[in-house]
Structure formats: C-alpha cells, structure tokens
Amino acid sequence: MPLRNVERTPSAVWTALAAGNERFMNFNEDRPNQDAPRRRELRDGQKPAAVVISCSDSRVPVELIFDVGLGDLFVVRTAGEILDQAVFASIEYAIESIGVPLVIVMGHESCGAVAATASALDGGAIPGGYQRVLVEKVAPSILEAKADGKTSIEDFEKHHVVATVNQILSRSPEIHDKVNAGKVGIIGLRYQLSDGKTMPVISRNVGLD
C-alpha cells in the first residue's frame, strides 16, 4: 500500500517503508509522489509519515532508499547522525507539531564518522575545527561497544545507532512519554551500502519487538 494511504500508526508506517526499501533493493521502484499534482498538493501543508535522523553521507539518500517522494519524510541529516539541540528540536517539532508516528535513526555501512572516531580512540589523529565534535559525539557509542566486547567497525556502526536511539529516549521526555504510551514508534537501522537493505538493530512499537 502506498505510504500516503497507510494508517498513521508506527507499525503500519514502518511496514510501508520496509516495503519501499524492498522495492529499492530489487530495482523495482514505484517512485511515488514526484509529479506536478503532488507538488501542488503540498502547497497547503505537509503530513510526512516519519521523521528520519540519518547520516549526511552522499551514499545514503533517504527518500531513494525508502522509495518515497515529496512530502513523505521529515529528514534531519548530520555526519554520523549525531544529535544536538537543533536535531532534538527538529524531532520534537515533527512529532508534536506535525504528528508523525515514527522516528527512524539510520546509520550505515562504511560510515566515515564512525571510522574516524574509532581511529582517534586507537591513538590516531583527532580532526581539527568543528569536526572534533563528530569524534566527541560518536566516541561514547564506540566505548560502550568496546566495553561490551565488540571489536569490529560493523559492530561499532550498529551500536552507535542503538546508542543514538537510547539517547533520544533518555534525553527527550516528550518523545520518551509518547513512545512509552505506544503513540510513537522508534527504530534504529543500519543501511547496507552493498545490497541497499536497511537492517533493524533496535526498535519499539513497530511490530518487530
């Protein structure tokens, strides 16, 4: 069922987006909502189905990966999908003011921010300027993963997504309460560059937990 027609519940939205990702993986895209009528329809407002916090990496284009179009997703992208006040404000706006029922956190295979942080923690160079913030924000995730016995970059990427989801829930009472009440779902994904799949690594209220 097209995303715009699904019931606005966390699990229904996730099911539709997962189906879109399947189409993308299989080169069988519908490419919905990318025509002139849709553009005109959106003049009057938006009703996206999910808010997505994704890495800015050019290989992770969110709308393409889920085979959706204009007005379908409210997207925040930062290198390493790191969180700050502006990101939290954007997520809370999407939930409280637009009424999206689903939060997606999406990391990915071969993430430069995770690799740079892992290298810095191993004694490598710490990037200068504002890039230092990337390392500061990703480092706790990698240290947690290491404390848990994890050693591979893949595991660091997965755990950074898990830690980011947990941070959203622990730092925003607004989001936490809506997730606890079942009104909003949250899912963390690791996008696999090699085959195009968005692999769930943590979730609440989307029918996988």
55 touches Zn ion (CB under 5 A): yes
In the stretch 132-171, what mask flags binding to Zn ion with x, by CB under 5 A?
----------------------------------------
Contacts of 41 (CB under 8 A, 6+ apart): 71
Kindly indicate which of the ranges 17-25, 50-58, 98-106, 153-161 contains the residues binding Zn ion, using the contact rule CB under 5 A: 50-58
Rounded least distance, CB 138 to Zn ion, Å: 10
Rounded least distance, CB 47 to Zn ion, Å: 29
Cβ nearer to Zn ion, comparing 57 with 63: 57
Kindly indicate which of the ranges 6-14, 47-55, 86-94, 166-174 contains the residues binding Zn ion, using the contact rule CB under 5 A: 47-55
Per the annotation, binding residues for Zn(2+) are: 55, 57, 108, 111
Rounded least distance, CB 10 to Zn ion, Å: 25
Rounded least distance, CB 192 to Zn ion, Å: 13
Minimal CA–CA distance to 42: which of 5, 69, 3, 76? 69
In the stretch 109-138, what mask flags binding to Zn ion with x, by CB under 5 A?
--x---------------------------
What CA–CA distances, in Å, run from 52 to 26, 40, 71, 151, 156?
Answer: 22, 24, 13, 28, 20
Kindly indicate which of the ranges 5-13, 26-34, 66-74, 105-113 contains the residues binding Zn ion, using the contact rule CB under 5 A: 105-113
d(C-alpha 103, C-alpha 101), whole Å: 7
* Neighbouring C-beta atoms of residue 51, cutoff 10 Å: 25
Contacts of 95 (CB under 8 A, 6+ apart): 51, 103, 174, 175, 178, 184
DSSP string, 37-63: HHHHHGGG----SEEEEEE--TT--HH
Cβ nearer to Zn ion, comparing 57 with 67: 57
Cβ nearer to Zn ion, comparing 55 with 120: 55
Residue type, 179: V
Alpha-carbon dihedral sign for residues 156, 145, 84, 184: positive
Name the site residues for Zn ion (rule: CB under 5 A): 55, 57, 111
